[in-house]
Amino acid sequence: MTVYHINKGIGPSSSGIEYAQKYRFDLVKQFPEKQLFIYCDYSYNNYSRFTEKIGIDIDVTLNAYKFMAGQKNHASTFMVDDFQLTLPSYFLRKDDGEKAVNFSYGESLYKVWLIPGTFRIDRVDTIVSQHLQEVAHYSDRLTNIDYYNGKEIFCRYFFNEDGEQSMKQFLHEGKILVTFLGDSVLYGKGEFYNEFFHRLNFGKGDLVIIDRNAGIAAELLQNKNDAKYAVVIHAEHFSERMIDDNWVLWNNHYEFVFSNRKYIDYFIVSTDKQKKKLKDQFNKMGSVDTKIITIPVGFINELNDGQAVEENKYKFMTASRLAAEKHIDVLVRAVVALKEELPEIEFHIYGAGKLVKELRDLIAKLNAKDFVKLHGHLDLDNSIYGSYGGYLTASSSEGFGLTLLEAVSACLPIIGLDVDYGNSEFIKNGINGFCISPKSFKNEEEQVEIFSNMIRKMVQEMDYKCAIEFSKTKAESYLAENVKSLWRDFYDISLGKKPVNSFEIGGTL
């Protein structure tokens, strides 16, 4: 009896889906069922670094490529000095900053990429006459080698635990053409993943929880056997602009599983509002028996007393990926516009992502470095949230919003857009924050002005005592023991340990 948690990939900048899995792992790791968190994408780094970083134990994770190659999970412990011993003594060593070490001789160069802050090896580039020839990847040993023709990878060799070649793939323009695996010849990505899921051998008594399905959904469904399948909905599941009385345009990340929903035993959403909406849409399209469950993707361990919120009311924060859809630049401009009027105002930004340079440049351009701070990616806890007086978000869509839950648990009033499902779930307009209608502005300039107005209104008019009490009541439902109980009940029902009618699915929260 195994519970599988299916994802695509994981990297240095984890998304809300990876954090949702981390929250789930924290709740279910003491359950008697075996848990396996599966990452299906090829990883250019040792993926175990990132699962451990986020807090999922290495011994409950599995990568499709490593599994097929007969590899086990190992920490990245192969050292630069160990690699140097494999080279002739005439290669010259030169440190290339903190990220790499070069070994060179004539036209040959080995560029050894390091795990940040260590002399442990991530990968080694072999460069001849300034042309990349191959990239070797390491954990505590060599795991695989990528071979290049010009800038394009054309072949990968994988090695098993004993260092023997165990799998070979040929690629074109980054796509798998054929995989040679023992006596098997697998054509394309589809046959590779079909064989992978076949070898996992899902069966009766197994539960497969699918967090990401793009590109692997068909192969998953082909190997369902007698297992139970549950798909977790992490975002808005449809297009509001493409819906009528007879048809719904699904989010492309869920279109395949929605279109084949007769093969899915359960859909899991984070809020009752999304559950009702999805159920109504399924009914409209003729699927009245589809089971939809409400289980929040996150939880909190404790409630903050909120005593420091009002005294820190000029000190705002946000936490998210630094991505375009988060519109953090709008928040920066809104805060800067208030600095002269509210000289005590501060804005602290937690997170990493592609837009970090753009935001840094914007902050410098606006002469705001003294009161708008970029803190990078940190593991935020209640004490950090508790040192602020308000939370800002300009994201136009949130499936749930884990950081919103953390902000509410710290009793922070929130300003954000009136969008499903996070803001509308956690903000009661005028009580513990303000929801801004997306229809109230036509352009970014108007959006900045409205956010500035709401920030001013919060610090000048907010009843902080009322906001704190409301936040405490709202957050209490998401305490760890309550969400853990929902997962336990869902496991028992889906694995046949309890009758379905013994639990009103999604009725607790």
52-56, 137-141, 464-468, range with the lowest pLDDT: 52-56
64-73, 114-123, 244-253, 408-417, range with the lowest pLDDT: 244-253
pLDDT in tens, 289-321: 889 999 999 999 988 899 999 999 999 999 988
Residues 350 and 440 grouped into a single domain: yes
What pLDDT does 506 receive? 46
pLDDT in tens, 437-452: 999 999 999 999 999 9
Give 263's pLDDT tier (boundaries 50, 70, 90).
very high
Give 435's pLDDT tier (boundaries 50, 70, 90).
very high
Residues 45 and 108 grouped into a single domain: no
248-257, 263-272, 408-417, 492-501, range with the lowest pLDDT: 492-501
Residues 379 and 262 grouped into a single domain: no
pLDDT in tens, 173-204: 999 999 999 999 999 999 999 999 999 999 99
Last residue of a domain, one of 294, 323, 357: 294
What pLDDT does 174 receive? 92
Residue by residue, DSSP assigns 162-224 as TS-EEEEEEEETTEEEEEEETTEEEEHHHHHHHHHHHHHT--TT-EEEES--TTTHHHHHHT-
What pLDDT does 508 receive? 39
Tell me what the mean pLDDT of segment 94-121 comes to: 94
Give 501's pLDDT tier (boundaries 50, 70, 90).
low
pLDDT, greater one: 70 or 9: 70
Q: Determine which helix (DSSP H) or strand (DSSP E) holds 492, and give its type and residue range.
A: helix 480-494
54 within domain boundaries? yes
Residues 169 and 202 grouped into a single domain: no
What pLDDT does 107 receive? 96
Last residue of a domain, one of 186, 211, 245: 186
506 within domain boundaries? no
β-strand pairing of 315-319 with 390-392: parallel
Residue 321's closest CA among 6, 8, 12?
Answer: 12
* Mean pLDDT value across the chain: 92
Cα 13 to chain centroid, rounded: 8
Domain count, the chain: 3
For 408, the token pair is 């509410």
Residues 57 and 196 grouped into a single domain: yes
492 within domain boundaries? no
Residues 51 and 156 grouped into a single domain: no
Residue 332 has pLDDT above 50, yes or no: yes
Residue 28 has pLDDT above 70, yes or no: yes
What pLDDT does 269 receive? 94
**pLDDT more than 70, % of the chain:** 97
Tell me what the mean pLDDT of segment 267-283 comes to: 91
What whole-number distance in Å separates Cα of residue 358 and Cα of residue 360? 5
What pLDDT does 347 receive? 98
Last residue of a domain, one of 186, 202, 235: 186
What whole-number distance in Å separates Cα of residue 416 and Cα of residue 468? 17
Residues 413 and 329 grouped into a single domain: yes
What pLDDT does 230 receive? 97
303 within domain boundaries? no
Q: Are 468 and 431 in contact (CB under 8 A)?
A: no
Residue 245 has pLDDT above 60, yes or no: yes
487 within domain boundaries? no
What pLDDT does 16 receive? 81
pLDDT, greater one: 509 or 390: 390
489 within domain boundaries? no
Residues 295-316 as b or e (16 or more Cβ within 10 Å = b): bbbbbbeebbebebbbebbbbb
What pLDDT does 507 receive? 43
Give 495's pLDDT tier (boundaries 50, 70, 90).
confident
pLDDT, greater one: 281 or 69: 69
Q: Which residues form the domain of 62? A: 2-72+192-294
Residues 237 and 148 grouped into a single domain: no
503 within domain boundaries? no
205 within domain boundaries? yes
pLDDT in tens, 353-407: 889 999 999 999 999 999 999 998 877 777 899 999 999 999 987 667 788 999 9
Residue 509 has pLDDT above 60, yes or no: no
Residues 242 and 132 grouped into a single domain: no
Q: Are 109 and 151 in contact (CB under 8 A)?
A: no
107: helix, coil or strand? coil
Residues 68 and 85 grouped into a single domain: no
Q: Are 128 and 111 in contact (CB under 8 A)?
A: no
pLDDT, greater one: 314 or 421: 314
CATH code of the domain containing 64: 3.40.50.2000
Residues 210 and 114 grouped into a single domain: no
What whole-number distance in Å separates Cα of residue 492 and Cα of residue 205? 11
Q: Determine which helix (DSSP H) or strand (DSSP E) holds 384, and give its type and residue range.
A: helix 382-385
Residues 20 and 88 grouped into a single domain: no
What whole-number distance in Å separates Cα of residue 59 and Cα of residue 61? 6
Question: Before 421, cis peptide (omega within 30)?
Answer: yes
**pLDDT more than 90, % of the chain:** 77
What pLDDT does 252 receive? 83
Tell me what the mean pLDDT of segment 65-73 comes to: 97
